Amino acid sequence: MNLESATPAPRAAVAAARAWWLALAALALLVGLLLHGPVAQWENYHAFADTRAWLALPNAADVLSNLPFLLAGALGLRGVARCSGSWPSRNAWLLFCAALMCTSAGSSFYHWAPNNAALVFDRIPIAWACVALSSALLAEHVHPRWASASLLAAAALIATGAVAYWWFTEQRGAGDLRPYLFVQILPMLLVPLALLLRLPALDAGSTPASAWWAVLGLYAAAKATEVADHAILAATGWVSGHTLKHLFAAAAAAWIVHAAVRARRRQLR
């Protein structure tokens, strides 16, 4: 059935039916991770390619490449705060922007001297950003309650718990990343599925599909460069894959927040 040609009641029913696929996808991801068994962090995780210092700053490129997260978060917070009126996903975008700023601080701290203890402060804000992104998508295409203050607080608590679980198990010699992986993978699973299902936006000011697709592309580039960290530095001689990963991820974050704010401003005109 074509949602655009359906009457309001059937349109809502079809949209609700399609939204159930998102729940099934999340359940499938959860079950798959449970059946897989513990996922350990690889032994050389902290062995990044670029260890060059600049002045007194160790691992300078990987530290400084986190500054774009701070800029994206700060500008995003300013943009979201200036948009008035009813906005289903507003709280989720505020949390996302705050998480970006915390990611800048946490990841810089971690890359200054990479170790598991510092990695906790890197992963927690990343987990917050992931749940905020999932909540924004659901608030714009399923129901505004997904961006309610109570649900966002619960989501942030779950995200924090996912990282805490890894740390707890890691300290006992049997580190398990599954809860953290669920939080991190979920938005990258829900976003393309929602777009392919053509879930209708709840209002005209929702983030456009083109922006979500752009984020997926930039995120894929970030993951690819992360995996090729050493190979990229060896090939270029001046930039590592992990540094590029930070830049691609920050660009993805800035792009989606800018698109969300721009769509809202257009709707308010």
Query: Which domains can be identified in the chain, with CATH numbers?
Result: 52-268 (1.20.1070.10)
Under DSSP, is residue 226 helix (H, G, I), strand (E, B) or coil?
helix
Does residue 245 carry a pLDDT above 80? yes
Which residues, including other chains, have CB under 8 Å from residue 211's CB and lie 6 or more apart? Answer: 255, 256, 259, 260, 263
Lowest mean pLDDT among 25-34, 103-112, 202-211, 245-254: 202-211
Please name which of 25, 33, 29 lies closest in space to residue 196, comparing C-alpha atoms.
Answer: 25
Which residues, including other chains, have CB under 8 Å from residue 27's CB and lie 6 or more apart? Answer: none
Per-residue pLDDT of 43-57, as tens digits, reads 899 999 999 999 999
Q: How many CA atoms lie within 13 A of 161 on its CB side?
A: 6
Please name which of 86, 63, 176, 99 lies closest in space to residue 139, comparing C-alpha atoms.
Answer: 86
Does residue 27 carry a pLDDT above 80? yes
| Averaged pLDDT for residues 246-264 | 96
pLDDT the model gives residue 269: 67
Q: Which residue has the tokens 């001689």?
A: 237
Does residue 238 carry a pLDDT above 70? yes
Using pLDDT thresholds of 50, 70 and 90, give the confidence band for residue 204. confident
C-alpha distances (whole Å) from 183 to each of 18, 29, 244 are 22, 10, 23
pLDDT: is 250 or 198 the higher one? 250
Per-residue pLDDT of 50-106, as tens digits, reads 999 999 999 999 999 999 999 999 999 999 999 877 788 999 999 999 999 999 999
pLDDT the model gives residue 86: 75
Instruction: Give backbone dihedrals phi and psi of 220, rounded to 5 degrees, phi first.
Output: -60, -40
Using pLDDT thresholds of 50, 70 and 90, give the confidence band for residue 8. very low
pTM for the model: 0.92
Please name which of 111, 133, 130 lies closest in space to residue 121, comparing C-alpha atoms.
Answer: 111
